[in-house]
């Protein structure tokens, strides 16, 4: 038995990853079951067992880092958080941290809230007579922290969360750290860590990576975490290990509010991860001619042009969802800490909808209004855009009021006000506001300013603005210049402008390019091989757009059918009368 105990401790000390450790753990558990003569009728596999081993490995690893002795009496470890993995089977598996340290029974697990989270592996825990966790309430924890606990581990802090449970978790963790109880924390990935540190700054603490360095192979990277590929190379359950320490530098409160608003919206919306990690260069876009940089909230940016992309749920392709203004693009940071702050501002500016569920929608509105009051203009613009897209009564007037409050301090609000003035026929006002938006280097505003000037007969001024926007990569500007070139019989120039538009998804530009190329081909105008290629590629792109539209329509039809089935299922349930209060 002693040899088996030692082999598990050696596997923990020398194992390269969770799979290695789980394999050793399975051998250890099976041997123990043979000793007690129990067959629990549960088949153990590495993949299924990893989630049982990871919490114990996390606890054991933190104990080693803390340097606390565990040989003479059990260490009392509080696991703080709402994570289900640590709650499985009354946290019996987390208590096996002692086995990993070569000291069975050397760790006693505490939780603030017990919950019935029973897994298929619980019969094994019962057979091995593993100890259940002890429960100590949040208030009890705060009243007698030093006497009751040796160590605390905050699993995946969510300082942005608004629900009572997460607020209690945060208060308890910060109280323990202030009381002198060694308090550690795990983060999902680097972006998560950076975000939590922005939010915890107002509480005068930060999560410091173990060893002070966050790099592949460093002490801060949990080699026994549960990796999730969509969260990045070092992303996943308990991927990064930190300690709660006093803050090293204070952050501007407006920056805290900016990050809090963006991350709180993710919580409200139920978003858990992106399609890529923060700062990741995304390959495969336009045959790698475009390498967008991953931001947050399924958003990425082409650092050269400012085009913003998002992955379509229906087609899984990147689609352009916006265009940054040059004064914003020019300030794009290189460090991930600053990039997160910058990305939060971009995310808020390009918010396009509010949650449909009433409670979530109200929460989102409160979050954005609070950020706006703190001076985060992007939050006001994002809320205005969401109101614009809403069908709720009074939403349009609320959007207008917000745009007017922000005014020409933000290019997107200035542009929205300009567009509205133009619709009312107030051309002078519209031109002033379009110029205000264009002064930020906002290509969309430059395009519409150019179109307004051209329509007013100020052709040279209009073409100058359109040329600036086209050079910045605005598809509509290139389309308009392509039309004007075609009307002036400058057909090759027209094709050049139109290609710059249709490669970015401008359907009308592709259709016009197809017509011009066919005319040139049929009438022997231009170099025949180049015109044939242009005609072929424009036609191919139109076909691609049609295929994409069909996919989207099919996905929408499937979603509508699922919603109809869900509604029918809900209506079929008998109503339960509520007691009269």
What does the alpha-carbon distance between residue 206 and residue 249 come to, in Å, rounded to a whole number?
9
DSSP-based three-state secondary structure for 111: strand
Domain end call among 251, 275, 305: 251
What is the tally of structural domains in the chain? Answer: 2
What are the tokens at 456? Answer: 């007013």
- Roughly what angle, to the nearest 10 degrees, separates helices 377-389 and 395-406? 160
181: in domain? yes
The single residue listed with the structure tokens 């005014």 is 407
Residues 173-228: pLDDT tens digits? 999 999 999 999 999 999 999 999 999 999 999 999 999 888 877 899 999 998 75
Domain end call among 236, 251, 266: 251
What does the alpha-carbon distance between residue 32 and residue 148 come to, in Å, rounded to a whole number?
31
pLDDT for res 571? 46
Lowest-pLDDT range, 34-43, 229-238, 524-533?
A: 229-238
Residues 251-285: pLDDT tens digits? 999 999 999 999 999 888 766 556 788 999 887 66
Domain region containing 122: 2-251
Q: What is the CA radius of gyration of the chain?
A: 29
Phi, psi (degrees; rounded to nearest 5) at 184 = -115, 170
316: in domain? no
DSSP-assigned states of every residue in 362-420: HHHHHHHHHHHHTT-HHHHHHHHHHHHH--STTHHHHHHHHHHHHGGGSHHHHHHHHHH
546-568 average pLDDT score:
65
Residues 357-369: pLDDT tens digits? 999 999 999 999 9
160: in domain? yes
Strand locations in 53-125 (E): 75-80, 107-111
In this structure, the number of other CB atoms found within 10 A of the CB of residue 40 comes to: 17
Domain end call among 223, 251, 279: 251
> For residue 204, what are the CA distances in angstroms to 143, 174, 178, 249?
21, 10, 10, 9
Strand locations in 403-533 (E): none
Report residue 148's pLDDT band, with 50, 70 and 90 as the boundaries: confident
Residues 60-116: pLDDT tens digits? 999 999 999 988 899 999 999 988 888 889 999 999 999 999 999 999 999 999 777
CATH number for 197 = 3.40.50
358: in domain? no
Write down the pTM of the prediction. Answer: 0.86
131: in domain? yes
13-29 average pLDDT score:
90
212: in domain? yes
Residues 336-382: pLDDT tens digits? 999 999 999 999 999 999 998 999 999 999 999 999 999 999 999 99
Strand locations in 106-216 (E): 107-111, 134-135, 151-155, 183-187, 205-209
Tell me the average pLDDT of the chain: 88
What does the alpha-carbon distance between residue 547 and residue 285 come to, in Å, rounded to a whole number?
18
476: in domain? no
118: in domain? yes
290-309 average pLDDT score:
92
What does the alpha-carbon distance between residue 127 and residue 38 come to, in Å, rounded to a whole number?
7
DSSP-based three-state secondary structure for 228: coil
pLDDT for res 231? 37
* Cβ proximity of 121 and 49 under 8 Å: yes
């Amino acid at each position: 038995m002693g040899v088996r105990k030692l082999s598990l401790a050696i596997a923990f000390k020398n194992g390269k990853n969770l799979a290695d450790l789980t394999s050793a753990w399975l051998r250890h558990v099976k041997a123990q079951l043979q000793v007690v003569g129990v067959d629990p009728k549960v088949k153990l596999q590495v993949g299924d067992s990893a989630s049982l081993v990871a919490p114990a490995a996390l606890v054991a690893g933190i104990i080693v880092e803390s340097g606390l002795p565990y040989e003479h009496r059990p260490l009392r470890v509080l696991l703080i958080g709402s994570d289900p993995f640590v709650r499985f089977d009354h946290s019996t598996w987390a208590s096996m941290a002692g086995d990993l340290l070569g000291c069975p029974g050397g760790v006693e697990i505490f939780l603030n809230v017990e919950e019935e989270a029973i897994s298929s592996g619980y019969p094994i825990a019962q057979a091995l007579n593993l100890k259940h966790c002890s429960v100590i309430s949040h208030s009890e924890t705060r009243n007698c922290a030093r006497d009751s606990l040796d160590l605390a581990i905050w699993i995946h802090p969510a300082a942005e969360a608004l629900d009572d449970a997460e607020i209690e978790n945060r208060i308890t963790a910060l109280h323990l750290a202030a009381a002198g109880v060694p308090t550690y924390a795990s983060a999902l990935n680097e972006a998560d860590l950076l975000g939590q540190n922005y939010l915890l700054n107002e509480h005068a603490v930060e999560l410091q990576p173990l060893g002070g360095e966050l790099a592949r192979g460093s002490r801060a990277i949990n080699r026994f975490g549960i990796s999730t590929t969509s969260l990045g190379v070092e992303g996943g359950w308990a991927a990064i290990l930190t300690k709660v320490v006093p803050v090293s530098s204070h952050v501007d409160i407006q920056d805290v509010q900016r990050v809090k608003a963006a991350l709180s919206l993710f919580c409200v919306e139920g978003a858990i991860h992106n399609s890529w990690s923060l700062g990741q260069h995304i390959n495969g876009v336009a045959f790698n001619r475009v390498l967008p940089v991953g931001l947050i909230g399924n958003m990425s940016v082409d650092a050269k042009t400012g085009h913003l992309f998002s992955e379509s749920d229906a087609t899984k392709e990147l689609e352009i969802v916006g265009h940054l203004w040059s004064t914003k693009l020019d300030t794009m940071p290189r460090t991930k800490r600053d990039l997160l702050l910058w990305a939060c501002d971009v995310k808020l500016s390009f918010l396009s909808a509010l949650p449909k569920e009433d409670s979530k929608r109200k929460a989102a509105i409160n979050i954005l209004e609070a950020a706006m009051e703190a001076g985060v203009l992007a939050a006001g613009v994002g809320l205005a855009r969401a109101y614009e897209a809403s069908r709720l009564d009074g939403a349009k007037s609320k959007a207008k009021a917000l745009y007017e409050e922000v005014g020409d301090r933000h290019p997107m609000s200035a542009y929205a006000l300009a567009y509205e003035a133009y619709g009312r026929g107030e051309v002078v006002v519209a031109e002033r506001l379009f110029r205000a938006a264009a002064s930020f280097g906002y290509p969309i505003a430059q395009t519409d300013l150019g179109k307004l000037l051209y329509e007013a007969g100020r052709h040279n001024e209009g073409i100058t603005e359109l040329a600036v926007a086209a050079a910045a990569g605005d598809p509509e500007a290139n389309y308009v210049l392509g039309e004007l070139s075609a009307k002036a019989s400058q057909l090759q120039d027209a094709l050049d402008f139109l290609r710059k538009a249709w490669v970015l998804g401008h359907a009308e530009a592709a259709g016009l390019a197809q017509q011009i190329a066919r005319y040139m081909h049929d009438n022997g105008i231009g170099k025949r091989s180049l015109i044939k290629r242009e005609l072929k590629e424009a036609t191919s792109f139109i076909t691609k757009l049609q295929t994409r539209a069909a996919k989207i329509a099919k996905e929408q039809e499937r979603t509508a059918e699922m919603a109809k089935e869900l509604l029918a299922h809900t209506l079929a349930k008998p109503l339960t009368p509520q007691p009269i209060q």
